[in-house]
């Protein structure tokens, strides 16, 4: 499969690993953004699947890091899904046990995911890239996350049959 700029997810060991080009924004704002087509990946109860709820743990893969290094994936986590306060101009999308888990921002272009050039350094690797959030309608569906006490940054060696690349 072609390695794309689009956010995607792989499940391993019962945990979801989301590839993102917006890891700084996710950390800074304590949020992860989705498109409508991603909703079934987080709101699906069935054999082997459980909808996200408070306490669901996820990992974020720093996509620009892998694109630059081409030898290792930088995986951060776990993050825990936490209930969201409903922002002004937003509508509730999914609740669990009376708590808002996912909401839809009515003006997603207001951020935090924007179109912009980025220059940053992670693990000594200098990365320059363009974030193109508008291609994904600025990820209007959002859920809140926080780093857990077990949070760490891992480097997963890229292999020919890499489990992080098979989406």
Say if residue 2's pLDDT is above 60: no
| pLDDT over 90, % of the chain | 55
Does residue 146 carry a pLDDT above 90?
Answer: yes
pLDDT for 122-137, tens place per residue? 888 888 989 889 999 9
- Report pTM: 0.89
Residue 1 has pLDDT above 60, yes or no: no
pLDDT digits (tens, 9 = 90+) for 88-129: 889 999 999 999 999 999 999 998 999 999 999 888 888 898
pLDDT for position 84: 94
Which CATH class name applies to 8-157?
A: alpha beta
Using CA atoms in the order 56, 59, 63, 69, what is the torsion angle rounded to 10 degrees?
Answer: 180
Contacts of 75 (CB under 8 A, 6+ apart): 17, 59, 60, 61, 62, 153, 154, 155, 156, 164
**Per-residue model confidence (pLDDT) at position 57:** 96
Q: What are 62-77's pLDDT values in tens digits?
A: 988 888 888 888 999 9
Q: Average pLDDT, stretch 58-64?
A: 92
The average pLDDT across 35-58 equals 85
- For residue 85, the SS3 value is coil
Which residues face 38 on adjacent strands? none
Model confidence at 33: pLDDT above 50: yes
pLDDT at 69: 82
Number of H helices, E strands in the chain: 3, 10
């Amino acid at each position: 499969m072609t390695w794309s700029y689009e956010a995607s997810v792989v499940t391993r060991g019962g945990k979801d690993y989301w590839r993102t080009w917006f890891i700084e924004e996710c950390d800074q704002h304590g949020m992860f953004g989705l498109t409508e087509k991603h909703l079934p990946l987080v709101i699906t109860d069935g054999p082997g699947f459980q909808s996200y709820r408070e306490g669901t743990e996820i990992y974020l893969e720093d996509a620009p890091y892998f694109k630059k290094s081409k030898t290792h994936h930088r995986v951060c986590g776990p993050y825990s899904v936490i209930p969201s306060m409903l922002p002004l101009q937003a509508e509730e999308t999914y609740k669990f046990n009376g708590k808002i888990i996912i909401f839809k921002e009515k003006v997603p272009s207001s951020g935090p995911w924007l179109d912009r050039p980025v220059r940053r350094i992670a693990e000594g690797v200098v990365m320059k890239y363009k974030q193109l959030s508008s291609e994904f309608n600025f990820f209007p569906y959002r859920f809140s996350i926080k780093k857990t006490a077990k949070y760490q940054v891992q480097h997963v060696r890229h292999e020919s049959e890499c489990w992080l690349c098979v989406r």
